[in-house]
Amino acid sequence: MLTAAGRRARVAVTLAVAALTLAGTLVGQDDDFPFGPFRMYSTRDDPDGTVVSTRVEARDASDRLRTVDERSTGLRRAEVEGQVQRFVADPELLGALSRAHDRLRPDEPPFTEVQVVERVYELRDSRATGKESERVVVTWRAP
């Protein structure tokens, strides 16, 4: 059984968390999680709009084009999607992915080029129409 002071403390903590969550919802960004929005679950795509899928591709020293995944660099796809604007502003950050690959996969050929690619899917009534396009957002090439 809780004492009166214990109940007051719990109520105070609950109110503080609720206030932080409300403030974060009104003015916060994803970086403020857990007291800001986690937009992945709080928004939806326009049923007659587009959906963007982002991936990282790399060309290695053997001239093979590869899709880069978490096992290659330690960076998850969601993290890439959240950092696209940073990669555009500073393509050298993709060079850091190349160096991470070299450390994690020393037996594989090094990357000579890394690029962020977005595939855009068109929707109609929340279903893919079959119309899609791709665009390279940013490219880094080894010096």
The pLDDT tens digits of the residues spanning 42-72 come to: 667 788 999 889 999 999 999 999 999 888 8
28-48: b or e for each residue (b if 16 or more CB lie within 10 Å)?
beeeeeeebbeeeeeeeeeee
Q: Do residues 76 and 103 make contact, with C-beta atoms less than 8 angstroms apart? A: no
**pLDDT at 78 (0 to 100):** 82
Residue ranges of E strands in the chain: 50-60, 65-68, 111-124, 127-141
pTM above 0.75, yes or no: no
Classify residue 101 as exposed, middle or buried by CB count within 10 Å of its CB (0-12, 13-18, 19+).
buried
